[in-house]
Amino acid sequence: MLDRLPSIVALCCCLLSIGTSFTQAADDSLIPDRRAKVTQAVEAGLAVIQRGARNYPTHRKCFTCHHQTLPLLGMTAAHDSGLKIDDDLPTEILKFTDASFRGKLDELKQGEGIGGRGLTVGYALWAFELGDRKRDELTEAMVEYLLKLQEPAGHWELHGIRPPAEESLVMCTVLAASGIKSFATETQRGSADAALDKARTWLAAAKLEFHEDRVGRLWGLSRLGGGTDEQFVAARKGLLETQRPDGGWSQLPEMESDPYATGSALYALLATRSTPPPDNDGLAASACLRAADYLLKSQLPDGSWHVVTRATPVQVYFDNGDPHGKDQFLSIAATSWCTAALSRMLPRPDVP
């Protein structure tokens, strides 16, 4: 019986192997303190990202990953775990995202006119997916844009380099290909399937230079499908081997652990746990618990997670009212990843 296992880690190993969240079937007498802390951390993170997402349209009219898609990811994950969110905000985020692209239908169809190129459109289509947006002429044009921009090798190039969110060809390719997979119309299906095959082939052989690459490789194998058991095992192993003794991950080997790298890694591990059972499930369970503890310790009293930016600014700075001044855009992205990841540690009411 699960409640007779000698340790929390052993319990989680068994639960992971059948694709269940850690706390879902766990006896509350074993982990009440962690479960309560995770819930409190998610609720505090939600307050930060929802406020940031609501404030953003008062300052700018252009879509961003850090104030639309990633806050929506955190909100969706929290909602799926039964927590209360701002019910009106997802609809407002989708309307804002729509308005950002709606006036560029002709440019999209020609593969032109979008700052951030495939990464931006990939993130926007992910927001539409998170919000259960239906296919329409806009999503069709966005898919057409991505199909035109795919490189012959199978990947999508970046428009600029603004680490960590905009430095990984792997993550860019996963987001672009995911958007095609989710929103291609029947008339686009032949081109879409060919593009996805090329993306999968490229992803399997891509050189992994950054932490974002390793997160993208594992998450992408699940998002795009077609991966082998061996590829999943290798991708998980590659991510697990770079976890630090403090439970966190770092953006680069020479950097210290930070919440952006840790939140995205934990999210990818939890989001892919129901894929073909890996050889290293026990290691993954232990790693996820240590990562969660790192995030609980690094969250600030205001509910945010602070990450110092290392990107060279390409736009004039403005204050959205989020914590951490000139670090606020990376920090709101980090807070979104952490909120989403910790939400997936909680029981999900829709899972028996």
Distance of CA 123 to the CA centre of its chain: 10
Coil, strand or helix: which one is 294?
helix
Q: Does residue 321 come out as left (phi exceeding 0), alpha (psi in the -120 to 50 range) or beta?
A: left
| pLDDT attached to residue 335 | 98
Q: In this structure, are residues 306 and 335 in contact, taking their beta carbons and an 8 Å threshold?
A: no
pLDDT of 6 reads 36
- Is 28 part of a structural domain of the chain? yes
349 part of a folded domain: no
- Indicate which CATH number applies to the domain containing 48: 1.50.10.20
pLDDT of residue 76: 98
Exposed, middle or buried, 305 (CB in 10 Å: 0-12/13-18/19+)?
Answer: buried
Which amino acid belongs to residue 245? P
For residue 130, the cross-strand partners are none
Give residue 281's pLDDT. Answer: 56
Whether residue 86 lies inside any domain: the answer is yes
- Cis preceding-peptide flag for 32 (omega within 30 of 0): no
Q: Is residue 308 part of a domain?
A: yes
Low-confidence ranges of the chain (pLDDT < 70): 1-33, 274-283, 350-352
Q: What are the residue ranges of helices labelled H in the chain?
A: 8-17, 32-55, 70-80, 89-102, 105-110, 117-130, 137-149, 169-183, 189-205, 211-224, 229-240, 259-271, 281-298, 328-343
Kindly state whether residue 69 falls inside one of the protein's structural domains. Answer: yes
Number of domains in the chain: 1
Name the maximum alpha-carbon separation found in the chain. 62
Integer-rounded Cα Rg, in Å, for the chain is 19
Burial readout 195-222 (b: 16 or more C-beta within 10 A, e: otherwise): bbebbbebbbebebebbbbbbbbbbbbb
What pLDDT shows up at residue 146? 98
In a domain, residue 348? The reply is no
pLDDT, position 337? 98
In a domain, 350, yes or no: no
Structure pTM? 0.90
Domain residues for the domain of 164 are 2-343
Nearest to 159 by CA among 123, 125, 120: 120
- To 5 degrees, how large is the angle CA 44–CA 341–CA 169? 125
